[in-house]
Amino acid sequence: MRVDFTTFGLEPPEPGKTGRAGQTEGAGTGASSTSGLDQTRFSFDQTRVQSLEAQVLAQPEIRAAKVQSLQQAIGNGNYSVPASQVADAMVGELSGTQG
């Protein structure tokens, strides 16, 4: 698959290209591209990206309400983490593939 990161903005669909769910646009043509390659294009609306960036940067680095509720749960003995989740986190941390 080839990804084109050089295209910016919204582009109209090209005639004869596949549309949603692999359906060829333009009914009745019966022909489609048989190049054998999957292709995709990402379009970036710079204004939207900047708006989302500003929203993310406006969020606090530490979610105080979440931290407080977790501290209370730990203090009350109500917080538990499944052993499998702990093991997965340890393996991910050691292998560098946390996620």
CB-based contacts of 79-86 (< 8 A; 24+ apart in sequence) = none
Domain range summary for the chain, segments of one domain joined by +: 2-94
Per-residue pLDDT 10s for the chain (99 aa) are 566 666 655 555 555 655 555 554 444 444 455 567 888 877 778 898 899 999 999 999 999 999 999 999 999 999 999 999 999 999 999 988 655
Asked if 4 and 10 count as a contact pair (C-beta separation under 8 A), the reply is no
